Amino acid sequence: MKRSEVNRDNLSPMMQQYMEIKDEYENELLLYRLGDFYELFFEDALIASRELELTLTGRVAGLEERVPMCGVPHHTVKSYIEKLVSKGYRVAIVEQLEDPKTAKGMVKRGVVDVFSKGTIADADLLNAKESSCISSLLLFDEVIVMCILDLSTSYLATLTIPNALDKLVNEIHNYNIKEVVVKSDFDKSIINILKTNYGIEISYNDLFIEDKYATLINKINDIRIKMGVKHLFYYVDHKILKDLSYITDIDYINRNLYLEMDIHTIRNLELTETVRLKDRMYSLIWLIDKCKTAMGSRKLKLWLLNPLKDKEKIYERYDKIEKLNNEFILKDELKKALFEIYDLERLTGKTINGALNPRDLIQLKKSLEVLPQIKEICQKLNFNYNINTHQNIYDILEKALIEDAPISLKEGGIIKDGYNQELDEIKSIRSGGKEFIAQFEEKIKNQTGIKNLKIGYNKVFGYYIEVSKGQKNLVKEEFKWERRQTLTNGERYISPELKEKEAMILNAEEKINNLEYDLFMEIKEIIKKEIVNIKNTADIISELDCLVALAVCSEEYNLIRPNLNMEHVVEIKNGRHPVVEIVNKKEYVPNDCILNKGINTLLITGPNMSGKSTFMRQLAIMSILAQMGSFVPATSANLPIFDKIFTRIGASDDLVSGESTFMVEMKEAKNAILNATSDSLILFDELGRGTATYDGISLAQGILEYISENIHAITLFSTHYHELTHLEKKYPNIKNVHVSAIEENNSITFLHKVKNGAIDKSYGIHVARLAGMPDKLLNRATDILNNYEKKKNNNPHNEIQLSLDFTKDEKDDEIKTKLKDLDVLNISPIEALNILYELKKDIDKDN
């Protein structure tokens, strides 16, 4: 049964109300609160039952046929919302908007919250170590204005980027944007790629908010950014129903301040997840994230993806790490204090977004409790942080909240005795009432002689007197008890005196719960007024957490403070790849990486499995660590400040877009060649292997020559094309190095040591033997190789691949010039023979 097929006049009042609300939320799955369950109906029920594996039932709704229905318990609804949103659905929550006791007729209901991929603000539904953002995209001329919002922390930022898909994808990845809001006329090809290739949720909105939030919006000078914020705010305010009044500031991101890395570089270097398993474990962030707070972990990831270019700011972080390592006792005290702090950023977000519960306020109180200690430690370390301890908020929370307060807001047990006089008085009445019940039970036992009777309570009858079956004959009419329920083992009664006291006790209980709820909301409003200050404190704490984490890493992984230069010089002694070193069970072999003035390219040869890729990656990772403010894995390091890093490492097809390995190679290489500067770092690993040998060598040499002649970027270029090693003679800025190996008894041992000069041969068959290829196959491959080598030795011209030289032959040009100038129609035969003889003599002389 479909919703559109139903005659609404025949529906029950409750279902008519549902249909009216659903009309306004056609694109959302509507979770409609009925009692202790959230119910879904019609098509929503069919979808939810399939996606959540729920039993599909039906509900009588005034029609001949029951309407499809499924539901989830209210206390577990968050897990179901998370599943639906992760599958790409939007979810709207419908609650009662008035008290059923005071409502006339049908209780009013309405949508109170909407969840989508980018607008989840509830910390319970989010990965603690990952940000989760929504962004609006507006196109102006040739640029895209991005306005980025993290609702869980109320962080708002904006940046302007060129209208290029790769730039857009990079920023979406950098800020973990889950959802983008665009106008209906936005470029459909970009939308399709974002949705299909990267799983980004696309939402449409053509309207801009007016008047509301003017305090923030009017502070924005750039009209394009102002339009972007108004576009995003309209969507979040009107469609997602979130209050944005507590966002008072906007972060203007200047891309020129940060080292630029595209999404391919981030993936190839495995900065945030591994290439093979797409998992955080064994990535660089996994290794260095020693943070004690969730907000610290999120900031550290942002530092990693946005390394600095300002030498002074980088050195400021080095100084603090060095200070922490020198003052190791204070560092340990700081670590312990940070461990006591909960996620202040998301706690402030909960306060704003209405999801705050008593347990959250307990977490806030415990976090504030250690701030004076952290402030004192920072003063001893001479760190220039102005930490607000929020003593007034702490005092209120300490005085008001019971330590083991429940999560629920409406069941009482939240507020301490002594906080509110009226509450204390009502509690006294309740306490006296409960005491009365115990006394009343003892009294009627003595009066009636029924020694095993007891006073009980349930929601149906309230307080009752229960008498066992064996003693019910002792109940006399003069007691004026009224029988209410017959049980297998006895009878239940009520009495006028008991009912009178029950009214007093139950009214007190209800008054207590209502008053505690009101007091909680008052405390919440007090905290709301301090939100901006608490957010500033959270920012400082998260930065401290990052610095302590990097200091811990420097000790644990034996990292050193690098020097930074602007002279394009790389001087690394005993450099290491930090992740490989920790994960690899074998002893790690460190390597030097030296590019002095005048040398900007290392041409790296060596067998597969020897460590070429690791050597290349470790330079990039060391540079990223250095520019994010971390110490680096080496015994000494002098590194240039890079503006961009480009990588082409690994070979794989892009199945989604239908591109071959070679096409992917060429696109990534093109990106580097067109965008790199002399201050950039380029890593090309076996470029050209995705096509035929001649094409591969030609392209590889062409690219190397172009970089050397036009870009002058620091470049690490690994290759199996030994023919390229002659370029060292032609270009003084290219230097040959190789990863050494020893061949003994038809086997190979990798030394993983990088040495000067080119390697003299390949070891492909040996590597195949290590991989466990059958001996018969390997023996045949050896025979074929020997035949090729014999042909090469007998006639080098037959094996062009092994002796190909792409250098321009000046003698050829000279001969061409002579022939071009020759007037063949006006010379005699004997003159022609003499010219031919001279040309042949010149050629023979050179050979």
Q: How far is CA 240 from the centre of its chain?
A: 22
* Top-confidence residue, 366 or 476: 366
Q: What separation in angstroms does the CA of 98 have from each of 32, 103, 356, 748?
A: 15, 7, 20, 79
> Which residue is listed with tokens 């790690």?
588
Higher pLDDT, 57 or 2: 57
Report the mean per-residue pLDDT for the chain: 89
More confident residue, 311 or 100: 311
CA–CA separation, 400 vs 414, rounded Å?
Answer: 8
At 500 the pLDDT is 82
**Of 422, 418, 412, whose CA–CA distance to 400 is shortest?**
418
Lowest mean pLDDT among 119-133, 726-740, 814-828: 814-828
pLDDT-based confidence at residue 102 (cuts at 50, 70, 90): confident
Tokens linked to 680? 């950039």
Instruction: Read off the pLDDT band of 805 (50, 70, 90).
Output: very low
H/E element, 639: strand 636-640
The predicted structure's pLDDT at residue 438: 84
When pLDDT is averaged across residues 794-802 and rounded to a whole number, the result is 46
CA gap 407, 76 in Å, rounded: 13
Which pLDDT tens digit goes with each residue over 325-341? 999 999 999 999 999 99
Q: How many other C-beta atoms are found inside a 10 Å radius of the C-beta of residue 612?
A: 24
Strand pairing class (734-744; 133-140) = unpaired
* pLDDT given for residue 502 in this prediction: 81
- Range in 367-376, 417-426, 752-761 the model is least confident about: 752-761
What is the DSSP pairing of strand 177-182 with strand 201-204? parallel
What's the predicted TM-score (pTM) here?
0.84
Q: Which secondary-structure segment (H or E) carries 180?
A: strand 177-182
Q: Could you tell me which residue, 123 or 637, shows the higher pLDDT?
A: 637
